[in-house]
């Protein structure tokens, strides 16, 4: 392309010299839409390839009830959840999914990880999981992950996103926190978060971004962030979450974003041998 442009410019200059007319400023050659798309696709692939990779220990994940690394009877409930979530997201053009719960310990991080690994088994998808429970981070420990920086530092504007992010396989990137952060609500609702998210969406072009959020009843961190997502999943613990809490949280979520559904977790009596259900 450059050679052709140079040759055209040279021919034009020679012609103008012969006619005595001034040489006009070189105009860029028309760029075809397919060429632009190909360049963008190359840039996105290069950005993914540049992320440091990691391989989690399957046994460690299993101990933490993360069971979707490979397909099997245990992964089935999450694979079903993945398929339904994807359907809804594609139908509505949603890409950013928050996972939250009324109280702590309902299984948000477990659901987020299982959903992320289940989605990543579809090679045509690009998936990003961001740990936004900044006060009580757990993902680094669950995954045995040691990035250079915490996502909280990225949200403060102190570090590049790439320092907190690691790639699993070709199509799943996870950014975690190495320690609890202060001023979590301010970080989540502050001015840096939206620009980082926008840059991330452009650079990595993910099909799905999962946000592992804090519980809603303990702090206003989640409420502060919900306007930035397209939809949210509410995880309730079968034996500990009160129906009234689920109802209140669902209403609060609905005031800020789309409610994708409610996941009833930690069900002890189910036909399937794993305790998840809608």
Ligand X SMILES: Nc1ncnc2c1ncn2[C@@H]1O[C@H](COP(=O)(O)OP(=O)(O)OP(=O)(O)O)[C@@H](O)[C@H]1O
> Footprint of ligand X on this chain (CB under 6 A)?
64-65, 101, 104-110, 133, 136, 138, 215, 265-266, 275-276
Distance CA 197, CA 174 (A): 14
- Written as six digits, the tokens of 170 are 């070709």
- Give the residues across from 118 on adjacent strands: none
- Of the two residues 104 and 190, which places its CB atom closer to ligand X in the complex? 104
CB of 90 to ligand X, least distance (A): 26
- CB atoms closer than 10 angstroms to residue 54: 15
101 binds, among Mg ion, ligand X, none (CB under 5 to 8 A by kind): ligand X
Closest-by-Cβ residue to Mg ion is 109
What is the nearest approach in angstroms of ligand X to the Cβ of residue 180?
Answer: 11
Closer residue to ligand X, CB minimum distance, 261 or 275: 275
Binding partner selected for residue 147 from ligand X, Mg ion, none, CB under the kind-specific 5 to 8 Å limit: none
> Which residue from 201, 220, 217 is spatially nearest to 209, judged by alpha carbons?
201
Q: Which is nearer to ligand X, 100 or 162 (CB)?
A: 100
- CA 36/CA 46 separation, integer angstroms: 15
Q: What size, in residues, is the chain?
A: 278
- In whole angstroms, what is the distance from residue 202 CA to residue 185 CA? 25
Q: Quick one: what does residue 107 bind among ligand X, Mg ion, none, with the CB cut-off 5 to 8 Å set by partner type?
A: ligand X
Q: Which does 106 bind (CB under 5 to 8 A by kind): ligand X, Mg ion, none?
A: ligand X
Q: Min. distance of Cβ 171 from ligand X in angstroms?
A: 23
Nearest approach, Cβ of residue 225 and ligand X (Å): 15
| Residue closer to Mg ion (CB basis): 79 or 212 | 212
Q: Which residues bind Mg ion (CB under 5 A)?
A: 108-109, 133
3-state secondary structure of 245: helix
* Distance from C-alpha of 243 to C-alpha of 231, rounded to nearest angstrom: 21
**C-beta of 89 vs 213, nearer to ligand X:** 213
Please say whether the beta carbons of 196 and 96 come within 8 A: no
- Give 22's contacts (C-beta < 8 A, 6+ positions apart): 16
CB of 219 to ligand X, least distance (A): 11
């Amino acid at each position: 392309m450059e050679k052709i442009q140079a040759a055209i410019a040279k021919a034009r200059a020679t012609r103008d010299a012969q006619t005595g007319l001034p040489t006009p400023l070189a105009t860029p050659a028309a760029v075809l839409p397919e060429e632009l798309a190909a360049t963008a696709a190359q840039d996105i692939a290069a950005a993914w390839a540049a992320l440091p990779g990691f391989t989690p220990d399957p046994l460690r994940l299993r101990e933490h009830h993360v069971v979707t690394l490979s397909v099997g009877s245990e992964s089935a409930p999450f694979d079903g959840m993945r398929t339904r979530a994807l359907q809804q997201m594609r139908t509505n053009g949603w890409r950013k999914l928050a996972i939250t719960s009324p109280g702590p310990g309902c299984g948000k991080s477990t659901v987020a990880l299982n959903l992320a690994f289940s989605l990543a088994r579809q090679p045509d998808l690009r998936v990003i999981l961001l740990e936004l429970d900044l006060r009580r981070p757990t993902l680094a420990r669950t995954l045995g992950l040691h990035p250079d920086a915490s996502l909280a530092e990225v949200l403060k504007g102190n570090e590049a996103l790439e320092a907190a992010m690691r790639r699993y396989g070709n199509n799943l990137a996870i950014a975690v926190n190495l320690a609890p952060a202060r001023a979590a609500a301010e970080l989540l609702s502050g001015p840096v978060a939206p620009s980082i998210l926008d840059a991330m969406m452009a650079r990595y072009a993910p099909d799905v971004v999962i946000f592992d959020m804090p519980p809603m009843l303990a702090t206003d961190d989640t409420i502060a962030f919900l306007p930035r997502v397209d939809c949210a999943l509410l995880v309730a613990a079968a034996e500990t979450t009160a129906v009234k809490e689920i109802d209140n949280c669902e209403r609060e979520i609905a005031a800020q974003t789309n409610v994708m559904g409610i996941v009833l977790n930690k069900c002890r009596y189910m036909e399937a041998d794993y305790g998840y259900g809608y």
